[in-house]
Structure 1
Amino acid sequence: MSLFHYTTFPTLIEHILPTKKIRASNLNGMNDPRESHPWSFGSINLPHEELFKDEYSSETHIDCQMKFGRMVKDRFQIVCFSGARHEGWNNEMMWAHYADRQRGVCLEFDADLLKSTITDEFPNLNWVLEPVTYIQKPVEHPWIYWNQHESIQDNFFNNIQRIYPVMTLHKSHFWEKEDEKRLVFLNQMETVYVPINSCLKAIHLGLGFPRSYMPAIESLLTEIGNAKIYQMIYQGDVYARWRLKKTADKWLSYAEDD
Structure 2
Amino acid sequence: MTKSYKYRANLIIDGQKRDTIQLSDNVLYAARLDDLNDPFEGSVELPKSESQEYWVTPLFHELYDVGIYSMSAQKGQEKFPNNELLWAHYANSHKGFCIEYDLDILVNNLSKDFNISDKIYIAYQDERPEVKESDKLFDIRTKVFGTKSLAWKYENEVRLVFRTSGLKPIAKSAITAIYFGLNISLDDRRDIVGRMAGRSIDFYQMERVEDSYRLKATKLTFDYSHEIVDFNRRPTVDNYMVLYKSPNKDKNTMCEFVEQFRHRLTRPTNITIIDDIRAKPVLLNYKPRKMMSKSEIDIQEKHWIAYSTFDAPESVWMYPEK
Distance 1:238 1:218 in 2: 25
Alpha carbons of structure 1 residues 159 and 192: separation in structure 2 relative to 1, 3 Å: farther
After the TM superposition, which residues 34-183 of structure 1 pair with which residues of structure 2 at under 5 Å, given as runs? Answer: 34-35=40-41, 68-72=59-63, 74-86=64-76, 87=78, 89-118=81-110, 121-122=111-112, 125-135=115-125, 137-140=126-129, 142=131, 161-183=138-160
| Bigger proportion of residues as helix | 1
- Which one of the candidate residues 19, 37, 56 is aligned to 1:31? 37
* Offset of residue 139 of structure 1: 0.6
Q: Deviation per CA, 1:194-224: give whole Å up to 9, x if none.
A: 414111011100000111223311221026x
Specify the SS of the correspondent of 2:193: helix
Matched letter for residue 19 of structure 2: L
* Offset of residue 67 of structure 1: 5.9
Q: Check conservation: 1:40, 1:66, Cα contact below 8 A.
A: no
Match of 1:12 in 2: 19
Tell me, yes or no, if structure 1 residue 230 matches structure 2 residue 197: no
Matched letter for residue 71 of structure 1: E
Gaps of 5+ in 1: 45-64, 146-157
Aligned length: 213
* Offset of residue 13 of structure 1: 1.8
* Offset of residue 36 of structure 1: 7.6
Q: Check conservation: 2:220, 2:248, Cα contact below 8 A.
A: yes
Q: Check conservation: 1:230, 1:241, Cα contact below 8 A.
A: yes
Match of 1:239 in 2: 215
Distance 1:196 1:253 in 2: 31
Alpha carbons of structure 1 residues 253 and 30: separation in structure 2 relative to 1, 3 Å: farther
Matched letter for residue 240 of structure 1: K
Q: Deviation per CA, 1:20-46: give whole Å up to 9, x if none.
A: 111111211211110188x996689xx
Identical pairs, percent: 21
Distance 1:161 1:182 in 2: 15
Gaps of 5+ in 2: 11-16, 50-55, 227-245, 250-322
Tell me, yes or no, if structure 1 residue 218 matches structure 2 residue 225: no
* Offset of residue 140 of structure 1: 4.0
Higher relative contact order (CA 8 A, sep 6+): 1
Please give the TM-score of this superposition, normalised by the length of structure 2: 0.57
Matched letter for residue 184 of structure 1: V
Q: Deviation per CA, 1:52-104: give whole Å up to 9, x if none.
A: xxxxxxxxxxxxx98634235x3532111112434350000000000001111
Q: Check conservation: 1:27, 1:77, Cα contact below 8 A.
A: yes
Distance 1:84 1:189 in 2: 26
Please give the TM-score of this superposition, normalised by the length of structure 1: 0.70
Larger radius of gyration: 2
